[in-house]
Amino acid sequence: MKLGVCYYPEQWPESYWQRDAQRMAEMGISHVRIAEFAWSLIEPQMGQWNWQWLDQIIDILAAQGLKIVLCTPTATPPKWLVDAHPEILPIDASGHIKHFGSRRHYCFSSQVFREHSRRISQAVVDRYGQHEAVVAWQTDNEYGCHFTVESFSKDAALAFRVWLKEKYGTVQALNKAWANIFWSQSYAHFDEVDPPYQAVTEILPIHQLDWKRFSSDQVKSFNLEQVKIIRQGSPARPVSHNFMGFFTEFDHYQVSQDLDIATLDSYPIGFTQMFFLNEDEKTKWAEVGHPDIPSFHYDLYKGMCKGNRWWIMEQQPGPVNWAHWNPIPKDGMVRLWSWQAFAHGCELVSYFRWRQTPYAQEQMHAGLLAPDDSLAQGALEVAQLSQEIKQFQNQAALSLQGKGLQSNQAKVALLFDYDSMWMSEISPQGKDFLGMEQVFRIYSALRSLALDVDIISTQTDLVGSQYQLIVLPAQWHVTETLRNQLEQIAAKNIPIVLAPRVGSKTQHLSISEPLAPGPLTALAGLKVKRVSSLPPGIQTEIVTQHNKPIEKHYVSRWLEDVECLSAKPYWTSIKNQIVVAKNSATYYVASWLMQDTWKVLFSELCLVHQIDFENLPEGIRVSRMSAPSITKVGKQEASSVVQNYQMVVNYSDQAHLWQPAEANSELLLGSAKVQAQQVSIWKVL
Ligand code: GAL
């Protein structure tokens, strides 16, 4: 449970550095991330090195006992490199070059850029790889930010053809898999295949999908080149990369295979404004962030790397500058989001940024300090948090060597798959059938029932797991391995919930055979005969299982015409359409459900399958976690016992009285009446 900060010494006079480092240490910050945008300062001209400033700041930070997370600076190629090699610039789908003048102006497929990315990474690693204060690395910065995963450059086209050849072997096989017979799209040679750009109308779906898969692989291989250099020159230091929110343009599981720590850039208020929430939700949560947005990402990224290591590399410390509207977070939220991250097993929360800059693109983005060097609200909360962590660690007798808190074995597994996300983006069939929204709504419904959730990849071993409920929120394509696992789970009578469109597509983004749910036909015991996407305004009331609707629930956006084989209707609409069908313990949902309706469904299923849950008031969230507690006998550390904790956070404006269900719980932080924007932690026996 450590605190960190993102620092840009190059943006401030040298005379500030010493004092900055001192203040960070006094505030309880232990880690400082530096240099991800500093290429042109490190190497002002090709092969001319300017290390003096970086040597100096690293020494200053180290002298205060601060640990450094050093970055490869490849997110900002310098102007001299761009001028010498304009071919490194990314090209958008309309063929326009994205020029120098901001950041991320490179193409992942550019061979020339790759050479320079390896060269600068090697130079930084050679210089600091063995430095005592350098404790971890970050590769680049936010792969894909500003829509930069895909680039339609010449190098990308060449690499795409090689990728296709490796995948399909012969062009005949490609023609068959892509169904190029349609609209005369066949190719005679791989060299004829272009990236999918600028066609008259919709481009072949599998062409788009393979392009996305290829582009994602390019991110992975680009990252791996840097990781190899770091591992060789800086052994035993973990390598990380900072991922973004609701971002699906590359497969994060694939990239994470090569990392030690997955890190998140967490901007709860910015995300609330910029994603699919409706206007009422955006207003309601404007100054605190939607209560499930932070933990959605915590629960996604916590499982990315082996050993479940994850950090927040950037957390918003106040208002940001990049959303449509940028409200100031309510007092307490910076601390609340951070505590909540620790409850989900986060090892380090680092804030973006130390001091707000008075100039350039991000001048309106808050820092822990204001531009005039005074402490901003974020800094006050960080200082408080750092005291509380110490106090908590003492009270809880947490082993300081240990990993801190870990989230408990969750009851629910939510399967998340980037390939299926791409399928949903390419072929939505209804404008508002948004795969990512569906995943988030389902997650949010589960969290509002006080259920802990692991968001996991389809490669996870489900059969050997302890999950009490498995949900497939947007699994458009189901592999044989996954089908196999699910059938074994079903044989154990563990409930499985399948959301609409599961198994509806082959790996080539064609309609499954048998029809949806394709490979899961036997499991779901039904066949989806026809599907209908419903324009806004068309909705039909649902009759839920217990047939005593307190609130009305509706089918909207999407409804399937389902034929039951062995399944039985579970929920129907008032027009007698099947909304949910049940086959033993497997439930198939044949419609888009609103979040509250998912909540009703899950609470019914929890009752039926005896899974403990609780109906939480709006804005209240609970997380369960554990940590080894070391008891000291004299000077000796004795046995370590695993201790359980419960954390309640309050995103709402009303105080809420909470009592853990477990007898003998002891309040360690906050009050039993959890105040607005506050946090309480109990030790539970
Ligand atoms: C992140 C990025 C940072 C900074 C920040 C502002 O996306 O990694 O460099 O731009 O956003 O919120």
Concatenating the DSSP letter of every residue in 502-530 gives: TT-B-TTSSB-SSSTTGGGHHHHTEEEEE
Q: End-to-end distance of the chain based on CA atoms, in angstroms?
A: 22
Tens of pLDDT, residue by residue over 403-425, are 567 777 899 999 999 999 999 99
Active-site residue, from 43, 142, 347, 381: 142
> Does the Cβ of 240 fall within 6 Å of ligand 1?
no
The reply to whether 546 and 680 lie within a common domain is no
Ligand 1 atom nearest to CA at 244: 7
What separation in Å is there between the alpha carbon of 478 and the centre of ligand 1?
35
314 tagged catalytic: yes
- 391, 426, 441 — which closes off a domain? 391
Average pLDDT over residues 127-137: 98
| Assigned domain for 174 exists | no
Nearest to 478 by CA among 505, 445, 451: 505
pLDDT at 223 over 90: yes
Beta partners for 243? 264
The reply to whether 664 and 590 lie within a common domain is no
Amino acid at 211: W
pLDDT band, very low/low/confident/very high, at 548 (cuts 50, 70, 90):
low
The reply to whether 563 and 649 lie within a common domain is no
| Assigned domain for 200 exists | no
pLDDT of residue 400: 43
pTM above 0.85, yes or no: yes
pLDDT band, very low/low/confident/very high, at 395 (cuts 50, 70, 90):
confident
- 391, 424, 446 — which closes off a domain? 391
Q: What CATH number is attached to the domain comprising 88?
A: 3.20.20.80
The reply to whether 524 and 669 lie within a common domain is no
pLDDT at 55 over 80: yes
Cβ atoms 145, 241 nearer than 8 A: no
The reply to whether 461 and 335 lie within a common domain is no
Average pLDDT over residues 463-486: 97
Average pLDDT over residues 288-303: 98
pLDDT band, very low/low/confident/very high, at 6 (cuts 50, 70, 90):
very high
Q: How far apart are CA 251 and CA 419, in angstroms?
A: 8
Nearest to 230 by CA among 70, 53, 61, 55: 70
Q: Which one of 143, 263, 316, 322 would you pick to mutate in the ligand 1 pocket, going by the greatest count of ligand atoms within 8 A of its CB?
A: 322
Tens of pLDDT, residue by residue over 450-462, are 999 999 999 999 9
| Assigned domain for 46 exists | yes
| Assigned domain for 215 exists | no
pLDDT at 398 over 50: yes
Tens of pLDDT, residue by residue over 140-180, are 999 999 999 999 999 999 999 999 999 999 999 999 999 99
DSSP structure class, residue 663: T
pLDDT at 660 over 70: yes
Greater confidence, 59 or 662? Answer: 59
pLDDT band, very low/low/confident/very high, at 402 (cuts 50, 70, 90):
low
The reply to whether 285 and 316 lie within a common domain is yes
Average pLDDT over residues 366-373: 98
The reply to whether 375 and 442 lie within a common domain is no
Residue holding tokens 């190719």?
187
pLDDT at 48 over 90: yes
pLDDT band, very low/low/confident/very high, at 383 (cuts 50, 70, 90):
very high
How many domains does the chain contain in total? 3
> DSSP letters of 14-48?
HHHHHHHHHHHHHHT--EEEE-TT-HHHH-SBTTB
**Mean pLDDT score of the chain, rounded to an integer?**
95
pLDDT of residue 401: 47
pLDDT at 393 over 90: no
Q: Which residues contact 345 (CB under 8 A, 6 or more apart)?
A: 298, 302, 308, 310, 403, 404, 405, 406, 407, 625
pLDDT of residue 626: 86
Beta partners for 32? 5, 68
How far is residue 193 from each of residues 142, 144, 423, 489, measured CA to CA in Å?
A: 30, 24, 21, 42
Q: How far apart are CA 621 and CA 679, in angstroms?
A: 10
- 584, 608, 632 — which closes off a domain? 608
pLDDT band, very low/low/confident/very high, at 634 (cuts 50, 70, 90):
low
DSSP structure class, residue 87: G
| Assigned domain for 431 exists | yes
The reply to whether 603 and 649 lie within a common domain is no
The reply to whether 370 and 422 lie within a common domain is no
The reply to whether 639 and 551 lie within a common domain is no
Q: How far apart are CA 337 and CA 333, in angstroms?
A: 6
The reply to whether 521 and 633 lie within a common domain is no
| Assigned domain for 88 exists | yes
| Assigned domain for 168 exists | no
Give me the domain span that covers residue 655: 620-684
> Does the Cβ of 365 fall within 6 Å of ligand 1?
yes
What separation in Å is there between the alpha carbon of 323 and the centre of ligand 1?
12
The reply to whether 452 and 520 lie within a common domain is yes
What separation in Å is there between the alpha carbon of 266 and the centre of ligand 1?
10
Q: What CATH number is attached to the domain comprising 489?
A: 3.40.50.880
Counting residues of the chain whose pLDDT is more than 90, the rounded percentage is 92
| Assigned domain for 335 exists | yes
Q: Which one of 6, 76, 142, 312 would you pick to mutate in the ligand 1 pocket, going by the greatest count of ligand atoms within 8 A of its CB?
A: 142
